[in-house]
Amino acid sequence: MQPTDLTGKSILLIIGGGVAAYKSLDLARRLMERGASVKGILTKGGAEFITPLSVASLTGHECYMDLFSLKDEAEMGHIRLSREADLILVCPATADLMAKMAHGLAGDLASTVLLATDKPVMVAPAMNAQMWVHPATKRNVETLKGDGILFVDPGSGMLACGEVGPGRLAEIPDILSAVDDFFAGGSAYPLKGRKVIVTAGPTHEPIDPVRYIANRSSGKQGFEIAGALARLGADVVLVAGPTIEHTPDGVTRVDVETAWQMQAAVRKALPADTVICVAAVADWRVDAEAEQKMKKTRDGLPNLTLVENPDILAGISIMTTGRPELVIGFAAETENVVEHARAKRDRKKCDWIVANDVSGATGIMGGTENQVYLITEDSEEAWPRAGKDLVAAKLADKIAERLG
């Protein structure tokens, strides 16, 4: 997308405390290059990393810090600041600042402005990985999203503290893109108000208390899709088989083990606008699970009778009442990928099929990359091999386009 002309737009940049505060100066400069007028509020923590003089020199406006400045408060400065901007951008947004926002606290200028404003607010969080995944932070993020606060989610990588994980400030181009999208009249959250159910991972079908039938699915692609949809504003329910994948931010996770449990969880989560069956559900299970561990005997191999598992995708696709607007299945194939996927779409009566080659040489099942074909009612697209996160983002965009 071409950079949006921000001429005439006013942005109030609130700079929280953290090593990433220095990046806010580059952000301000690049917003101004697009024509925006930028004013800065520097928190006490932010001033430990950059100076008010650097903010003022760069923006050409006074840098505000003190809630009780006599000059400003004589003019009700915090109210004026909160109402003059077209967008309030918090970068970096610390765990402490987001907690104040979520609970309506107003003990300093930044939190007071955020509570007093009637203008859109966008936050770009940055913090230690454990702080980002802490249940308290997750609750605060969910509260803020529910209040309509826009988020530019942090990335993962090496953090200033030396740890590796989520919590790294989003790259400046990504923040700029979110601002561009906001002012371009589009929405950074085209799926807001839409509910999506995603299944992911394998299922484990017990043979006895210690053995089961399964497959090599890691669940990574499904988890990435759930996260990508949540970042577009969707209300996402992720029904996950046994996996070690981390739950994406903003996603409601339901853990299951067997195909029958997965089917029940999906049905319970309905109705939904879209259901995406990414999970590699075991096709068969034993007809009767042994109550005790099966022992080797001299009588030879045990006789295991297999029966079919429920077909979750087909069951949703043929619903006569309350069928989701868009039903998407996945086809993991080892040969004739497109041909088998076409046949599966017809057979299951779903709207789209995302097909991939999972033969051993590809390294796709259980790996970090994917190469897929998207087969719809009227088209077939071959997507280049890419990280599963990029595949997920592209599919989420396609879904947003389809749902309008």
Return the active site residues.
161
| Residue 214 CB neighbours (<10 A) | 16
The residues that bridge with 157 in the sheet, in sequence order, are: 165
Q: In angstroms, rounded to a whole number, what is the distance separating the alpha carbons of residues 348 and 394?
A: 23
Enter the tokens of residue 13: 């940049």
> Does 351 appear as a known binding residue?
no
**Does the annotation place 394 within a ligand binding site?**
no
CA 191 to chain centre: 12
Task: Tell me: is residue 349 an annotated ligand-binding position.
Answer: no
Q: What span, in angstroms and rounded, lies between the C-alpha atoms of 329 and 276?
A: 6
Q: How many CB atoms lie within 10 A of CB 297?
A: 8
237: β partners: 197, 252
The reply to whether 3 sits in an annotated binding site is: no
CB-based contact 277:352 (threshold 8 Å): no
Would you give the distance in Å from CA 127 to the centre of its chain?
A: 17
CB atoms within 10 A of CB 296: 8
**What residue has token string 């371009």?**
184
Does 318 carry a binding-site annotation? no
- N-terminal to C-terminal alpha carbon distance within the chain: 19
CA 118 to chain centroid, in Å, comes to 27
Q: How far apart are CA 152 and CA 171, in angstroms?
A: 10
* Annotated binding residue 15: no
**Residue 398, marked binder:** no
**48 and 20 in contact (C-beta within 8 Å)?**
no
Residue type, 198: V
**Is residue 272 within 8 Å of residue 236, measured between CB atoms?**
no
| DSSP for 139-150, written as a single string | HHHHHHHHTT-E
* Cα radius of gyration rounded to whole Å, the chain: 25
Which residues on adjacent β-strands are paired with residue 211? 208
Could you give the C-alpha distances from 402 to 190, 236, 320, 359, 399, in angstroms and in order?
A: 11, 17, 21, 31, 5
**401 sits in which H/E element:** helix 388-403
- Interacting residues of 33 by C-beta distance below 8 A, sequence separation 6+: none
Known binding residue 312? Answer is yes
Q: Does residue 213 have a known ligand-binding role?
A: no
- Please enumerate, by residue number, every residue annotated as part of a binding site: 283, 293, 310-313, 330, 344, 348
- Please enumerate, by residue number, every residue annotated as part of a binding site for CTP: 283, 293, 310-313, 330, 344, 348
